[in-house]
Structure 1
Amino acid sequence: MAAIIYSLCALTAFACAFLITRSYMRSRLRLLLWSGLCFWGLFLNNFILMVDRVLLGPEIDLSTWRLVVSLVALLPLLFGLIWEEE
């Protein structure tokens, strides 16, 4: 059951990242760029979570890598929200 939940979370983040990036390509609004980059990172984070919990099992721990990826994923959105002028 956990594998299904992790997969659905990764697919949702992928769908959001794809749709936001596609919207950015059409409108060129920079906030969409930062949001899209954030969601691509969140997709990668969810994918690493799925690999960590489902495929590798308890003997290998990727929690540090997941935290680093989630931090890097949130930095573009934080940058865009603070320093972008519209």
Structure 2
Amino acid sequence: MSAAEIVYLLCAATSVACAILLLRGYWKSRARLLLWSSLCFVGLGLNNVLLYVDMVMLPNVIDFSLERLLPALIGLSFLLYGLIWDTE
């Protein structure tokens, strides 16, 4: 396993762990910013998983560049919505 593969897996694991911890915090406190942040990290985690699939599992078969970036864009859009329009 190369260093790049390890970094891809660690980034995916970190994003998913952050999403889980933020969702747990949201369920306890019901602070809506935690919800938007956790949805952002779900998108970033999915982005990192698709990056691993694209670069390691299927390196030259199919180009997943658009499919990789779409979950990150959606996740960041959730966070942007929460920061701008969802004020309490």
Name structure 1 gaps, 5 residues minimum. Answer: none
CA RMSD, 1 decimal? 0.8
Deviation, 1:43, is: 0.4
Distance between the aligned counterparts of 2:57 and 2:20, measured in 1?
25
Identity percentage over the alignment?
A: 56
Name the counterpart of 1:38: 40
Which shifted more, 54-63 or 32-41?
Answer: 54-63
**Residues matched between the structures, number:** 86
Deviation, 1:71, is: 0.8
Name the counterpart of 2:27: 25
Q: Where does structure 1 differ by over 2 angstroms across 4 or more consecutive aligned residues?
A: none
Name the counterpart of 1:15: 17
TM-score by length of 2: 0.93
Distance between the aligned counterparts of 1:57 and 1:68, measured in 2?
19
Deviation, 1:58, is: 2.1
Name the counterpart of 1:65: 67
Deviation per residue, 1:44-80 (Å, 9 max, x gap): 0000000000000123110011121211111110100
Give the secondary-structure state (helix, strand or coil) at the position aligned to 1:19.
helix
Name structure 2 gaps, 5 residues minimum. Answer: none
TM-score by length of 1: 0.95
Give the secondary-structure state (helix, strand or coil) at the position aligned to 1:44.
helix
